[in-house]
Amino acid sequence: MPDVQPLVSEFVLKLKRRKVEGSHAVARQTAELLRSVVSQHRMGSTNQAATLADAVRAVGQQLIAANPIELAVGNIVRRVLHIIKEEDMSSTAVGIEGLSVTVDSDDEYDSEHDDRPTLSAAVLASHARNALRAPSLQTLLDDIPVSTAISRTASSTGDSDGKSKSGDKTSTKKLKHDVIAAIGDLIDEIDNCYEPISEQAVELIHQNEVILTLGRSKTVKEFLCAAKEKKRSFRVFVAEGAPRYQGHALAKELVEKGIQTTVITDSAVFAMISRVNMVIVGAHAIMANGGVIAPVGMNMVALAAQRHAVPFVVVAGSHKLCPLYPHNPEVLLNELKSPSDLLDFGEFSDCMNFSTQDGSPLLNVVNPTFDYVPPKLVGLFITDT
């Protein structure tokens, strides 16, 4: 993929330097890059789906390694691999309609006049099992696509070599075209994920309720604004989300939409939760066990909600659904941000000179980015599906 490699290298560099902020932007740009990879990939004459999947997988491994904490990258790579497998199986199923199954028959007319390429019952049964198997992110592309076996069987009949070659070219173009179109649909799904989530707001938010959220989430903002547009009158408590204070930006956006908003400190969540009817928050990722990776401080909010029997609702697009478990070794649950977000080094410069006898500093600063909320603390998930 010489033509697409500069695009891959550029996006890898962006991920390493954390230049792409937000899982939504990361997911969309990942899908766009993989669409370019598929578009510029040179398809072989045989086993096209497998070679295309290998190319996507190779690029995906580079992207995931560049920023392991951004789980949306791996989610989109798996979705694209699943698209390749689905489109390959779909084209194979269409090809099966023109093939006949070789079985023992007493009908001499069938054997003499049926010049269609034959397909063994074993190959057909294998394809049927694959087609009926429920799609699973964990088992993507575990099986070799049966189109290879079918093309070999079909091309082995008589003098159909010329037809087989022309058919291979047509099927190759169709496979690539269908995969590109399906990735385009995936990009549209990512772009439009807010609308189907927001449509459910009027069912959850009722008149004169008090909602609490933490930090800044565009999904939460669109959800609350949708309820406001339906003439719901409610109030929102926004925990500021220190030390980045993204809650301040969300509060400003809600006020501009005419929503009554109160900013509170993160440490005041337990004091204010008794007045709250519902907690609505966004997520960085939703794990396979139902646990949530969310901005730091979210576990404290979830514990407060559980203590006071307040519903804890998570809104997130399907591109944030991750098929991995928190204990998987490839899952990086957290990363540490710069200590300068917490302390002014000029003010604490004197403290930096103090150390223990072994030379380690007496003052340490830990600034984690995310929290893990266990599934038992989550009352409801709302996604675009």
What pLDDT digit, counting tens, does each position of 73-90 carry?
A: 999 999 999 999 999 988
CA dist 195 and 181 (Å) reads 22
Q: Quick one: what percent of the chain has pLDDT higher than 90?
A: 63
Binning pLDDT at 50, 70 and 90, where does residue 148 land? very low
Q: 275-306 pLDDT, tens per residue?
A: 999 999 999 999 999 999 999 999 999 999 99
Q: Quick one: what percent of the chain has pLDDT higher than 70?
A: 77
Within 10 angstroms of residue 79's Cβ, the number of other Cβ atoms is 23
Q: 332-360 pLDDT, tens per residue?
A: 888 899 888 888 877 776 676 666 667 67
Average pLDDT over residues 360-376: 90
Task: Write down the mean pLDDT value for the chain.
Answer: 84
Which of 333, 339, 329, 327 shows the shortest CA–CA distance to 364? 339
Residue 143 has pLDDT above 90, yes or no: no
Residue 133 has pLDDT above 80, yes or no: no
Which of 189, 230, 253 shows the shortest CA–CA distance to 27? 189
pTM over 0.85? The answer is no
Residue 108 has pLDDT above 80, yes or no: no
Fold classified for 3-97+171-189 = Four Helix Bundle (Hemerythrin (Met), subunit A) (1.20.120)
Residue 321 has pLDDT above 60, yes or no: yes
Residue 61 has pLDDT above 80, yes or no: yes
Cα three-residue angle 98-119-46, rounded to 5 degrees: 85
**According to the model, what pLDDT value does residue 138 have?**
44
Average pLDDT over residues 58-83: 96
Q: Kindly state the DSSP code that residue 353 receives in the 8-state scheme.
A: G
- Residue showing tokens 């004091």: 271
In terms of residues, how long is the chain? 385
**According to the model, what pLDDT value does residue 152 have?**
42
Locate the domains of the chain by residue range: 3-97+171-189, 205-334+369-382
Average pLDDT over residues 260-280: 97
Q: Kindly state the DSSP code that residue 321 receives in the 8-state scheme.
A: B
**According to the model, what pLDDT value does residue 328 have?**
87
Within 10 angstroms of residue 203's Cβ, the number of other Cβ atoms is 10
Where helices occur in 194-296 by DSSP H, the ranges are 194-198, 201-204, 218-229, 246-256, 269-272
**According to the model, what pLDDT value does residue 131 have?**
52
Among 74-83, 122-131, 164-173, 239-248, where is mean pLDDT lowest?
Answer: 122-131
Among 9-13, 22-26, 350-354, where is mean pLDDT lowest?
Answer: 350-354
Q: Which two tokens stand for residue 276?
A: 């709250």
Binning pLDDT at 50, 70 and 90, where does residue 363 land? confident
CATH class of 205-334+369-382: alpha beta
**According to the model, what pLDDT value does residue 248 have?**
97
Q: Residue 209: is it exposed, middle or buried by C-beta count within 10 angstroms (0-12/13-18/19+)?
A: middle
Binning pLDDT at 50, 70 and 90, where does residue 123 land? low
- In angstroms, what CA-CA distances link 207 with 126, 197, 201, 210, 235? 56, 19, 12, 9, 10
CA dist 250 and 221 (Å) reads 7
**Residue 269 · residue 304 · CB < 8 Å:** yes
